[in-house]
């Protein structure tokens, strides 16, 4: 019966993924079947924590996040949790030897969302992006390489760069919601400055450098995961191109998205690139 409960736990994480992110879940569906559940469980864990700090405004977020962290470590120690998402994640953490430092760095960034509304220096921005995005990419990389530590070390930096690029694109896409609704400022470039074309161009150059630094590592990913990662890569590259064409003031008024039709075209582009081992 425990096997059945574990199946239900991973299905719950999959449901969280498909409900909250159609683009990410589409990319995950192109991973090898034997690693999809693990990636769903990672996304489920980080999504629930993110929900606590971003949307549970009528509740004590500090208490909820502390309880979430405590419940995870109880699950990790006990080998089971009645929270199916935490149950699935603790299984993945143990199976793929995901370092606790990565989990703690992620939780630290979630706590920063509750205490630091502005990132005033590059170091503060980098610290937040490392914990909120880069370590999530490293958790996934642990699954992709499946105990091949030499390959993990080789791909660690490119994986961090890719996670950083994804997060910064998200920040630009969600600029209106972050600055106006959540009252947060993630880019240190905005400290004391208006978001204008000059600042926007500076941020985009930084993102493009991150993307360029990730390409070599992406080509070396195991075949079980390369296509799924490339689908996400092409999606975010397209999203960044759309953002580049939108005037800075308009990014403060609306959320930019990629149409469903174009997502299908990007999928075929990634399929061809993967077949030819190009980006």
- What pLDDT, in 10s, does the model give residues 39-61? 999 999 999 999 999 999 999 99
Residue count of the chain: 279
pLDDT given for residue 268 in this prediction: 72
Q: Is residue 100 part of a domain?
A: no
* pTM recorded for the entire structure: 0.92
User: pLDDT: is 265 or 50 the higher one?
Assistant: 50
Range with top average pLDDT, 110-124, 140-154, 183-197: 140-154
Please state the rounded mean pLDDT for residues 163-168: 96
pLDDT given for residue 246 in this prediction: 93
pLDDT given for residue 193 in this prediction: 67
The token duo for 236 is: 């975010």
Whether residue 63 sits in one domain with residue 127: no
Distance, in Å, from the CA atom of 163 to the CA atom of 174, rounded to the nearest integer, reads 16
Distance, in Å, from the CA atom of 100 to the CA atom of 116, rounded to the nearest integer, reads 23
223 burial via Cβ count (<10 Å: 0-12, 13-18, 19+): exposed
Whether residue 64 sits in one domain with residue 132: no
Average pLDDT score, the chain:
91
Angle at Cα 253 formed by Cα 247 and Cα 254, nearest 5°? 90
Whether residue 228 sits in one domain with residue 135: yes
* pLDDT value at 270 more than 80: no
The answer to whether 273 and 279 have CB atoms below 8 angstroms apart is yes
Whether residue 247 sits in one domain with residue 152: yes
Q: How many domains does the chain have?
A: 2
Please state the rounded mean pLDDT for residues 135-161: 97
Whether residue 147 sits in one domain with residue 261: yes
CATH number at residue 48: 1.10.600.10
142-146, 152-156, 178-182: which range is least confident on average?
178-182
Whether residue 150 sits in one domain with residue 73: no
Whether residue 244 sits in one domain with residue 122: yes
CB atoms within 10 A of CB 177: 12
User: pLDDT: is 121 or 70 the higher one?
Assistant: 70
The token duo for 224 is: 């079980």
23 burial via Cβ count (<10 Å: 0-12, 13-18, 19+): middle
Question: Structural domain of residue 53, as residue ranges?
Answer: 1-95
pLDDT given for residue 277 in this prediction: 67
The answer to whether 248 and 195 have CB atoms below 8 angstroms apart is yes
**DSSP string of 186-240?**
--GGGTTS---HHHHHHHHHHHHHHHHHHHHHHHTS-TTTHHHHHHHHHHHHHHH
Task: With cut-offs at 50, 70 and 90, classify the pLDDT of residue 101.
Answer: very high
Whether residue 273 sits in one domain with residue 192: yes
Please state the rounded mean pLDDT for residues 231-240: 93
pLDDT given for residue 23 in this prediction: 86
Whether residue 258 sits in one domain with residue 122: yes
Whether residue 87 sits in one domain with residue 132: no
Among residues 125, 104, 216, 106, which one has the least CA distance to residue 162? 216
Give the model confidence (pLDDT) of 2-24 as tens digits. Answer: 799 999 999 999 999 999 998 89
Whether residue 126 sits in one domain with residue 157: yes
């Amino acid at each position: 019966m425990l096997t059945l409960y574990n199946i239900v736990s991973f299905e719950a994480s999959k449901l969280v993924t498909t409900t909250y992110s159609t683009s990410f879940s589409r990319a995950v569906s192109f991973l090898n079947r034997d690693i999809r559940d693990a990636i769903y469980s990672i996304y489920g864990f980080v999504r629930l924590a993110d929900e606590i700090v971003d949307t549970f405004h009528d509740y004590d977020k500090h208490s909820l996040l502390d309880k979430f962290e405590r419940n995870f470590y109880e699950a990790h120690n006990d080998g089971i949790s009645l929270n199916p998402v935490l149950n699935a994640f603790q299984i993945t953490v143990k199976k793929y030897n995901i370092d606790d430092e990565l989990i703690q760095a992620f939780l630290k960034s979630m706590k920063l969302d509750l205490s630091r509304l502005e990132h005033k220096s590059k170091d503060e921005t980098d610290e937040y992006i490392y914990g909120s995005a880069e370590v999530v990419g490293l958790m996934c990389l642990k699954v992709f390489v499946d105990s091949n530590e030499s390959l993990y070390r080789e791909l660690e930096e490119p994986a961090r760069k890719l996670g950083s690029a994804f997060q910064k694109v998200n920040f630009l896409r969600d600029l209106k919601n972050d600055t106006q609704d959540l009252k947060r400022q993630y880019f240190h470039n905005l400290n004391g400055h208006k978001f204008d074309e000059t600042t926007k161009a500076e941020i985009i150059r930084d993102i493009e450098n991150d993307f360029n630094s990730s390409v070599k590592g992406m080509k070396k990913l195991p075949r079980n995961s390369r296509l799924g990662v490339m689908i996400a890569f092409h999606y975010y590259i397209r999203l960044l191109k759309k953002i580049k064409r939108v005037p800075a003031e308009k990014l403060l008024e609306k959320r930019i998205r990629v149409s469903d039709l174009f997502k299908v075209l990007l999928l075929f582009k990634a399929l061809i690139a993967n077949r030819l081992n190009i980006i």
